[in-house]
Structure 1
Amino acid sequence: MTATTGTDDGRDDCDGRGGLDDRAELARLLPPATGFDLPPGRHEHHRERLMNQIDHDTAAASARDRTPDRAPSRPRLLRPSFLAPVTALALAGALVAGYSAQGGGETAVRADSGASASERAGQAQPVALVLNRISDAAAKSDAGPVRDDQFVYVRSQVQGGDLTSGKLVTGPLAEREIWYAQKPGPQKRLGYIREGGETLPINAEFGDTDGTREGISRPTYRWLAALPTDPRRLLDHLTALTPESERQEHAQAVFEQIGYLIRETVLPPETAAALYRAAALIPGVTEAPDAVDALGRHGVGIAREDRGSSTRSEWVFDPEGLAFLGSRTFLTADTAIGAKGALFDAQAVLKRSVVDEGGVRPQD
């Protein structure tokens, strides 16, 4: 059935306001847009956690400045469970500020605005085929299950960026080992991390005085297994849980959050399969032919670019079995903090396993 406005002879009968009435009629016919928001208070919660980390880093930098004869210490990593979302927010703020100062663009808008549903479907079709293949391979995995009293072990080669000086300085490649505790309920010790020969505890997230519960920032195997396996429902759920920022496209934040989940966890096969199909539904996700991880391993790439912050994040998969190899994030334009192509971070996963004791390497 076709909806029409105006008189029978096709002319507009709205005294020259046909454009406005046409838009109103289209708005009436189209279904309302679906949106997701964080629960009340969560914006302030994440902002406060970020400010605490900035204060901590500033104090540490001042202490180093007061002792010039001392060799600079290796920069500490953020708590791994907190690293992905906070890094995204902090980086987006720094990049947008620099990019805007150079006249490079305005505040980022939602990635799904400005395109029709049919256009988005057409753009997503090629990458959806690739992600469906990756999903099918993940569904055949024999990973897990993981008991509540065990630890997920991940060994990687990583590179990280430092913005302390106001410029992006990428550190050298280093080995990192992480043991994630799977115990349910609020925990004050989330596991252990070993880098540079030193093993340190991973403490609860900033602000979690009673301990951090399992969830989007502490994804235990049990929590992951309880996620929806329908791709659309899963994407909606993760979108609602992922913090928003005015300086980063929310779709980019969700893409990076999924990247964190596939990078440093042991995923139930059904959840892994659903995550890849959910990623195919994110506007702006594309295939990245011949992507490269932190070790220079080439593979099938899945990427998304955040034009507001001039960054591009890529996932890399083995071209044969489509297993996840690693990821990287880099600048896509010259900005105040670095030149186009500068590497912000990169990872190459070498081993995943499940162990009974934190800080102890797997036997095999």
Structure 2
Amino acid sequence: MNEMTQLRALRVDAPQPSPHRLNAGRQALVQAAHGQKSTHRVLAGWRMTALGSAAAITAIALMGSQIQTQNGEPDFVPVARPAYTSQSASASQILNNAADAIAERSAPPAQQGGWVYTKEAIANATDQERPGLRERESWIRYADPAFENGRGGDDHSPREKYRFLSELPQDLNEVKKRARAFYPGDGQESRTQHDFGALKALARTYPAPPQGLATVYRALATIPGIKTARATDVLKREAIAIYLPGHEREDMLREEFLIDPQTYLYTGSRWIAQADNPDPDANPGDRWKKDDVIIDSSRKEIDLVDENHERP
């Protein structure tokens, strides 16, 4: 399978489970939720689980195929969009400042019988069938024993993640060790890559105890080579991109996560081209340059609700 086929297999509106943990029942759930055939996600794995795996997402609804502009035309997202507006100062300083700010926040009340509602905006420049900006809604049961205590593999219920964060120690090396155990790697990545990926997944947690989430940011600040940069997300909002350059494997894309420059909370993920596409006969959506944003997912809304399919 070549890299272009791999890239097309990556769909941010579909779940990203670890293939070796995915059973037939979970596959059936994916197909029922999305109305599509099963597809191998070559770039899937625990690093992608935080986008919303089939096991944890009990209900998913696509809100139309595209977001429309005022004149009714689809709001297409060009692929040739630079990833960064400018490089930031010390990533360690930014992340530690973010941790201080997050530690002062109050946690949303978690309800044992509730659901986590999320609305996202998604653009995938390689998806020729559904170009442009689309919305996705999902509902995840807050307390789901089927995905706790290892039952869901590297899928964890929001309740389990909340408890994990609330029990983190102050020793940041121990924090990284626990994060690696919580999100096991695939054996092909370095310790630095594993630390970054596991902490990045934890930084997406909602709801989250402020002190625990702040500790995750402080642990991120200790990762060698971590970078931050000013960026603009797919919704044209200002953001801070957090990434680890120079540690990519053979994938053509690097996953980053974005935080709000005011609240410092997670607002989205995106995949950045690590090289020009050398194919002169590529489709328009596949003609990119190094550092172009290829896939962009932005969190528009997240909240706790009482019932499945209930909106805030």
TM-score higher than 0.5 = yes
Change (3 A) 1:298 1:347: same
Give the gaps of 5 or more residues in structure 2. 1-16, 50-88, 280-285
CA distances 1:72-92 after superposition (whole Å, capped 9, x unpaired): x7787999xx9662649xxxx
Indicate the SS of the match to 1:133. Answer: helix
Q: In structure 1, what residue type is equivalent to 2:175?
A: L
Q: CA deviation at 1:354?
A: 0.8
Q: In structure 1, what residue type is equivalent to 2:208?
A: L
2:164 aligns with 226
Q: In structure 2, what residue type is equivalent to 1:155?
A: K
1:357 aligns with 307
Structure with max Cα Rg: 1
Q: Give the TM-score normalised by the residue count of structure 2.
A: 0.61
1:182 aligns with 142
Give the one of 232, 239, 260 matched to 2:201.
260
2:260 aligns with 318
CA distances 1:23-48 after superposition (whole Å, capped 9, x unpaired): xxxxxxxxxxxxxxxxxxxxxx9552
Change (3 A) 1:331 1:320: same
Moved more, 316-325 or 353-362: 316-325
Q: Does the CA contact (< 8 Å) of 1:291 and 1:314 recur in 2? A: no
Change (3 A) 1:324 1:244: closer
2:210 aligns with 269
Matches within 5 A, 1:9-88: 48-49=20-21, 85=46, 87=48
- The answer as to 2:274 corresponding to 1:332 is yes
Q: In structure 2, what residue type is equivalent to 1:302?
A: I
Change (3 A) 1:253 1:226: closer
Q: CA deviation at 1:128?
A: 1.4
Q: In structure 2, what residue type is equivalent to 1:131?
A: L
Indicate the SS of the match to 1:345. Answer: strand
Percent of paired sites with the same residue: 24
Q: Give the TM-score normalised by the residue count of structure 1.
A: 0.53
| RMSD across aligned positions (CA) | 4.1
Q: Separation in 1 of the partners of 2:40 and 2:117? A: 18
Change (3 A) 1:285 1:156: same
Q: CA deviation at 1:319?
A: 2.7
Q: Does the CA contact (< 8 Å) of 1:301 and 1:316 recur in 2? A: yes
Q: Does the CA contact (< 8 Å) of 1:303 and 1:315 recur in 2? A: yes
- The answer as to 2:91 corresponding to 1:127 is yes
Structure with greater helix percent: 1
1:244 aligns with 185
CA distances 1:133-179 after superposition (whole Å, capped 9, x unpaired): 1111211222323122111122111234769xxxx999532111221
Indicate the SS of the match to 1:226. Answer: helix
Give the gaps of 5 or more residues in structure 1. 1-44, 61-72, 89-124, 191-210
Number of equivalenced pairs: 237
- The answer as to 2:233 corresponding to 1:293 is yes
1:4 aligns with none
1:304 aligns with 244
Change (3 A) 1:221 1:136: farther
Q: Separation in 1 of the partners of 2:231 and 2:275? A: 18
Q: In structure 2, what residue type is equivalent to 1:232?
A: N
Q: CA deviation at 1:129?
A: 0.9
Q: CA deviation at 1:51?
A: 9.9
Q: CA deviation at 1:349?
A: 1.3
Q: CA deviation at 1:181?
A: 0.9
1:217 aligns with 155
Q: Separation in 2 of the partners of 1:169 and 1:229? A: 47
2:85 aligns with none
Q: Does the CA contact (< 8 Å) of 1:294 and 1:326 recur in 2? A: no
1:143 aligns with 107
Q: Does the CA contact (< 8 Å) of 1:154 and 1:177 recur in 2? A: yes
